[in-house]
Amino acid sequence: MARAQAEQQQPTTGMTLIVMVGLAIAFLLLMAFLNVIKSGNVLSETNLLFATLIFYAGAGALYLGFGVTGTESYVKFASLATWLGLIANTAAVAHRWYEAGHAPFSSVYEMLLSFVWTLAVLTLVAEKKFGVKVIGTVTMPVAIVGVVLMQLLRTEVHPLVPALQSTWLHVHVTLAMLAYAACALSFALAMMFLIQDNMKTETFLAVTSASALAIYAGVVLTRFEKWGGLSLVAWDPERKSEVFLSRGVRLFVSVPDLGWLLLLTTLVVAAPLFLYLVSRYAKIVWYFRSLPARWADTFSMRGLGDAGATGAWIKIHPEPQNKEGWALLANRAVFLSILLQIMALVMFVVRANDARYPSLDADGLFPTSLAASPFILSGLVGGVFISLLYLLLLWRRPDLGRLLPSADDLDRITYKTICLAFPLLTLMIAAGAYWANQTWGSYWSWDPKETWAAITWLVYALYLHMRITRGWRGRRAAYFAIAGFAVVMFTFFGVTYLLPGLHAYA
């Protein structure tokens, strides 16, 4: 149905969406203006962030419209909106910087502010310089989620503890942001390469379903409480920080019944992957049974095995067909999972403020806050986003193929972004080591964040060696770029939340 709608839209010039987005932006700006008149405060950070959000949202809608319909005229307006959003974003960063007296990198909120800014800049660079117009379809929604998260995490200007008062910290964090943004870009480009390289849509189904499943399984496994509750970190509204029982031990509060919903969503999210595996069951079994013959072939190069064994084996055991019916069902399941995910997200946002916990020092019960669980929230939003991207691919694949640069170009641009990311990673680690040396008296202490930064560096070093000396191109290089970004994500989020260490600030 949606496909039919999209096809109807195509012949028009796409003015409808532009006008709609334009009107929406104008309306929201008017509302903001009225609000400004009422409060009399023009250049506050809230207003700047609100303007940023409005423009990015407009740009995101237009880029999505472009991604879905392929109407070229959207891009012009989308980048205009991105430019305006970027101006507001820059002003917000500058305001924060001025107010705090230090570069905005010291809390999760300030890091997000800078990250979103970098993302918008990179989007414009990728679009103008490399002609990857569709990139905004991916990056702008991420920027929007970032700005929304900032609204939740809004903090007062926190003074810097002594250890953080160093120019090297700013150098370190700026480089980290730039490096990670470049890694993210290389990941997006590698994904686009796989699309252009005619990777099967079902494979993307399996991957998107598995990623969403990983998010939900992660949340459910760590936070599911007995009898269907979901435990969240307690939030101290006075101090605007998480509540700690003792050093490093957070107080968890259970939100009743929310756990069941997330468990159900997890099952539904797993369904497409399950159906995919069922549809490929015969083939997977067939592949595993053929392995001895394949190994014989491999070893025949060293004079050990039997050349041509695979061919002989396949002659006897023909490759079974996939059961397409199941695959179609899997696509339906994706649709269902998106609906349920949105419901889980809404319920989470609504209920996250509901749990009560008794205060440790004062009498009375305190509510939990959505602001205390930014990573679960971004995980849930990310899940919806990944699944929506799959739908985009499923419905508009031929158009995407037309819009994206050729596979060769994408391969080369991916490599170039990694050539940019790698020196940045190196300098980031070096600046961090220098700072650590000034602060803790040791440039390297094998703290988990450091170790994972080194691992990230090694993974990209491997990529470069494989590419330069072994001539890896195409799929294998793309898989490597994707794996590299997965490691980056773990270093950025996973280490902070799963592994203890010195990097307690960020």
Task: Map residues 350-369 to x or -, x wherever contact with another protein holds by CB under 8 A.
Answer: --------------------
- Examine residue 461 and tell whether it contacts another protein (CB under 8 A): yes
Cβ-based nearer residue to another protein, 396 or 449: 449
Using DSSP's 3-state secondary structure scheme, residue 321 falls into: coil
- Examine residue 465 and tell whether it contacts another protein (CB under 8 A): yes
- Examine residue 199 and tell whether it contacts another protein (CB under 8 A): no
Q: CA–CA separation, 383 vs 116, rounded Å?
A: 19
Cβ-based nearer residue to another protein, 11 or 441: 441
If residue 210 lies in a helix (H) or strand (E), which one and from where to where? helix 201-223
Applying the rule CB under 8 A, the residues between 166 and 185 that interact with another protein are 166, 168
Q: CA–CA separation, 157 vs 237, rounded Å?
A: 15
- Examine residue 499 and tell whether it contacts another protein (CB under 8 A): yes
Task: Map residues 413-432 to x or -, x wherever contact with another protein holds by CB under 8 A.
Answer: ------xx-xx--xx--x--
Q: CA–CA separation, 388 vs 342, rounded Å?
A: 11
Dump the DSSP string for 2-37: HHHHHHHHTTS-SHHHHHHHHHHHHHHHHHHHHHHH
Cβ-based nearer residue to another protein, 42 or 461: 461
Cβ-based nearer residue to another protein, 350 or 360: 360
Using DSSP's 3-state secondary structure scheme, residue 254 falls into: strand
Which residue bears the tokens 């440790």?
Answer: 360
Applying the rule CB under 8 A, the residues between 210 and 239 that interact with another protein are none
Q: Which of 51, 433, 481, 482 binds another protein (CB under 8 A)?
A: 433
The token duo for 277 is 């595996």
Cβ-based nearer residue to another protein, 26 or 461: 461
Q: CA–CA separation, 269 vs 333, rounded Å?
A: 8
The three-point CA angle 27-30-32 to 5° equals: 110
Cβ-based nearer residue to another protein, 91 or 430: 430
Cβ-based nearer residue to another protein, 80 or 430: 430
Q: CA–CA separation, 23 vs 31, rounded Å?
A: 12
Q: Which of 222, 442, 493, 504 binds another protein (CB under 8 A)?
A: 442
The closest alpha carbon to 105, from 56, 149, 144, 158, belongs to 158
Inter-residue contact 136 to 193 (CB < 8 Å): no
- Cα 413 from chain centroid? 20
Q: Which of 439, 479, 503, 505 binds another protein (CB under 8 A)?
A: 439
Dump the DSSP string for 100-149: HSS-S-SSHHHHHHHHHHHHHHHHHHHHHHH--TTHHHHHHHHHHHHHHH
Q: Is 170 exposed, middle or buried (0-12, 13-18, 19+ CB in 10 A)?
A: middle
Q: Which of 459, 477, 478, 488 binds another protein (CB under 8 A)?
A: 459
Cβ-based nearer residue to another protein, 206 or 466: 466
The nearest distance, CB 438 to another protein, in angstroms, is 5
The closest alpha carbon to 140, from 47, 32, 65, 214, belongs to 65
Inter-residue contact 58 to 29 (CB < 8 Å): no
The nearest distance, CB 166 to another protein, in angstroms, is 5
Neighbours of 482 (CB within 10 A): 18
The nearest distance, CB 131 to another protein, in angstroms, is 14
Size of the site for another protein (CB under 8 A): 45
Neighbours of 61 (CB within 10 A): 22
Beta bridge partners of 230: 224, 255
Task: Map residues 134-163 to x or -, x wherever contact with another protein holds by CB under 8 A.
Answer: ------------------------xxxxxx
Q: Which of 220, 437, 473, 506 binds another protein (CB under 8 A)?
A: 437
The closest alpha carbon to 376, from 188, 224, 245, 154, belongs to 224
Beta bridge partners of 81: none
Inter-residue contact 85 to 52 (CB < 8 Å): yes
The nearest distance, CB 97 to another protein, in angstroms, is 17
Q: Which of 180, 187, 452, 485 binds another protein (CB under 8 A)?
A: 452
- Examine residue 438 and tell whether it contacts another protein (CB under 8 A): yes
223-255: b (≥16 Cβ within 10 Å) or e: bbbeebbbbbbbbbeeebeebeeeeeeebbbbb
- Examine residue 165 and tell whether it contacts another protein (CB under 8 A): yes
Which of the ranges 109-117, 200-208, 351-359, 433-441 carries the binding residues for another protein, by CB under 8 A? 433-441
- Examine residue 31 and tell whether it contacts another protein (CB under 8 A): no
- Examine residue 446 and tell whether it contacts another protein (CB under 8 A): yes
Q: Which of 263, 282, 345, 466 binds another protein (CB under 8 A)?
A: 466
- Examine residue 495 and tell whether it contacts another protein (CB under 8 A): yes
Which of the ranges 10-18, 118-126, 265-273, 442-450 carries the binding residues for another protein, by CB under 8 A? 442-450
Cβ-based nearer residue to another protein, 235 or 415: 415
Specify the length of the chain in residues. 506
Q: Which of 38, 247, 302, 470 binds another protein (CB under 8 A)?
A: 470
The nearest distance, CB 170 to another protein, in angstroms, is 12
The nearest distance, CB 203 to another protein, in angstroms, is 25
Cβ-based nearer residue to another protein, 239 or 402: 239
Binding site for another protein (CB under 8 A): 158-163, 165-166, 168, 412, 419-420, 422-423, 426-427, 430, 433-435, 437-444, 446-448, 451-452, 454-455, 458-459, 461-462, 465-466, 469-470, 495, 499
